[in-house]
Amino acid sequence: MAGRLDGKVAIITGGVSGMGLAATELFIKEGAKLVIADIQAEKGLALEQRFPGQLRFSRCDIRSEEDIAAAVALAVDSFGGLDVMYHNAGAVGDNSSIEDMSTAGWDDTQNLLLRSTMLTIKHAINPMKKRGKGSIILTSSAAAVALGGSGPFAYTVAKAGVISAGRYAAFALGQHSIRVNIIVPGAFPTSIWSGHIGGDADMGDRLGLDLGRFARMQVLPQAGDPRNIADAALFLASEASDFITGVALPVDGGLTLHRGPEASASGQLGAVNAAAEQLERA
């Protein structure tokens, strides 16, 4: 089935790589017009050339209100409005322990993950009101809900805040037929995992060499694929979910039901290290 986003205009933050790129490609296939808001300009401009007339790129630091506002303005100016805001961009941030956390590291992580969530919601509201409805999709993490946590301190707290922000916004904006839902990803071998070991964003594009440890993190014995997240985002963006709002949807293979042998923070880090070692040998 194609055409599930025909006539819709969407913004995807972090849409040039990993989960975001999978969503970009799927949304285009399903008929959407897209603005991709991302800090990786070279990749973004390449996508603009790949999908002429269907996609515009806006260089965007998601911590900047001016950049978020500019991405929304580009969607309205280029395609006539905004129907879907999918806030996917993010990174691990400061992975210090509680006792070693600096105020600067804490603030930067909250700005990156939580203030950016507020900004994407805020700037999506008016153009969606003009359309008469809309769908806002946020990205949390299994770290926010898994027993014992599975991510760094500042990251885990921020991602828990994303769920609260999304549920509050769903309640406040329902009167305008603006739905707000939250995707809660589990363990995926994408760029965010390289943040645990100080890797760059491109590293995540190459982490798929050793998926066995990722497959042992959750109930379903398989590694997550970015397409799993893209499919969930498509559902929440489309009319198929038009009576769903305020939901935190786990897409985690059951990670938050039962944490497998590799699901501890040390096990996850081991999976990333193992993949990095394979990259070095390749």
What amino acid positions are annotated as catalytic residues? 155
9-25 burial: b if 16+ Cβ within 10 Å, else e:
bbbbbbbbbbbbbbbbb
The secondary structure element, H or E, covering residue 125 is helix 116-131
User: What tokens does 146 get?
Assistant: 């898994």
Distance of CA 199 to the CA centre of its chain: 18
Helix axes 153-173, 103-110, angle to 10 degrees: 40
Residues near 200 by Cβ (< 8 Å), separated by ≥ 6?
Answer: 194
The amino acid sitting at 76 is V
84 bridge partner residues:
10, 135
* Dmax (CA) of the chain: 56
Residues near 164 by Cβ (< 8 Å), separated by ≥ 6?
Answer: none
What's the rounded Cα separation, in Å, for the pair 249 and 256? 11
